[in-house]
Structure 1
């Protein structure tokens, strides 16, 4: 009798499997229903669930990275231009996993060469008041030679971009970034590393790139545990004219 019951059970399972393979409804998923997000009126405009970080009017969502005082970069004509003497600025809000859109422009009259040519950066995670964190390089890489893991759209000192998608100085550049934060255990050990995907002017230049830790100017990168953090823009001290930003928004992906 036991063998008869086992045979019957196996036959029933086989029948169910056959039905699932032949019935299209067996593989339909109806719940949970994705929430509705209204796209922006253009591809670069913020969608309905985005947090707008700069809309051309003020820097209310930003603060000084050094002392958390109000951000003192120069807002004019719908853009914000780096104030090098004011230092880095960062978002008041903290983020973890997200989609970030920002646009930046190197002055048409840019001077200098190599790293001294419109140098700045977006720190996807700000872990300190200075240049601590995880940086995507911003600078003029239009016919400007420098080390490839330090040119525009590189993960600074870690990963060169797949291609150079730079437009000439004076034209607006676009970064669209997907950031996957590192995960740490309760005792601070790394469970999974950080990853970044970056489109520069609509072209994939970092494709789910794994980071080895925080970006450093000198030395090898390493991880330090954190929960969430601000996004930071760099006021680099090079001697060339400062760059400008516009249309910055972020979508949480947690």
Structure 2
């Protein structure tokens, strides 16, 4: 029988102890990660208030960070009592700053005395990436979905004309509602083809309604969605052309995630 010398046996034992397979099973430090250390972000002082690294898009005072989508002139929606209300005569407005991936918080309110039905009942939209002066881009629907029947991929919190919300979390007209969005922008190759699609996660009034939903392209009222290459884009709010009372917004902020 072959015998190992003391030196050989010692080296074999040290190799075995030093092997990850041997010591990782009973050493909790083997799975600890210390670097890189996440940067510090101070959260908002109150619920839904912007954290320290947020870009405040509307603070209740003015629309300095917004422009008219059609011609990039200053936005002229009505600012009053800490909120901004849609002015349909001046059209859609969008942020002057452009974004790619981000976290967004936005609050909106349907008038208490809303009239009409279906899509004509307090209709607006949040365009997560505005790629043109009109209604081009990727839209999350805003409208009254409290006891108001319409097509499900056109109700509040739907990816318009694409994906219905998982549940209807709408509040009554006259009550403030919130959207909390995580937007993952599409990535395009040099020839304009899609390398990776867009995704959206959406909480409506704190309820998960879009769970990392994959988008098929931009929003179109008529026709199927399709992609158009872009790098970054403004965030847009829609002044819809129906005759129902205008919607108001407040407390809008965004955290770029690039």
Q: How does 1:37-186 map to 2 (within 5 A)?
A: 37-186=41-190
Q: Deviations over 1:201-229 (max 9, x none)?
A: 00000011000000110001111111110
More off after superposition, 208-217 vs 16-25: 16-25
Residue 211 of structure 1 corresponds to 215
CA contact (8 A) 2:187 2:196 kept: yes
Distance of 1:16 and 1:54 partners within structure 2: 53
1:142 & 1:191 partners in 2: Cα distance?
Answer: 38
Structure 1: 5+ residue runs without aligned partners? none
1:252 match = 256
Give, in angstroms, the shift of residue 21 of structure 1.
Answer: 2.2
Q: Does the Cα contact within 8 Å between 2:66 and 2:96 map onto a contact in 1?
A: yes
User: Alignment length, in residue pairs?
Assistant: 249
* Superposed structure 1 runs of 4+ greater than 6 Å apart: none
Which of residues 223, 226, 234 is equivalent to 2:230? 226
Using structure 2 for the length normalisation, give the TM-score: 0.93
Query: Bigger CA drift: 49-58 or 187-196?
Result: 187-196
CA distance in 1, matches of 2:89, 2:187: 35
CA distance in structure 2 between the partners assigned to 1:199 and 1:253 by the alignment: 18
Deviations 1:116-174 (A, max 9, x none): 01100000000001000000000000000000000000000000001100000000010
* Separation (CA, whole Å) in 1 of partners of 2:223 and 2:180: 28
Q: What TM-score do you get using the length of structure 1 for normalisation?
A: 0.95
Q: Once structures 1 and 2 are overlaid, which stretch shifts more, 106-115 or 22-31?
A: 22-31
C-alpha contact (below 8 Å) 2:17/2:23 kept by paired residues:
no
2:98 match: secondary structure: coil
Task: Identify the residue that residue 5 of structure 2 maps to in structure 1.
Answer: none
Q: CA deviation at 1:28?
A: 1.0
Q: Please list the CA deviations of residues 104-124 of structure 1 after superposition, one character each: whole Å capped at 9, or x if unmatched.
A: 000001000000011000000
- SS state at 2:118 partner: coil
SS of match in other structure, 2:217: coil
- Equivalent position SS for 1:86: coil
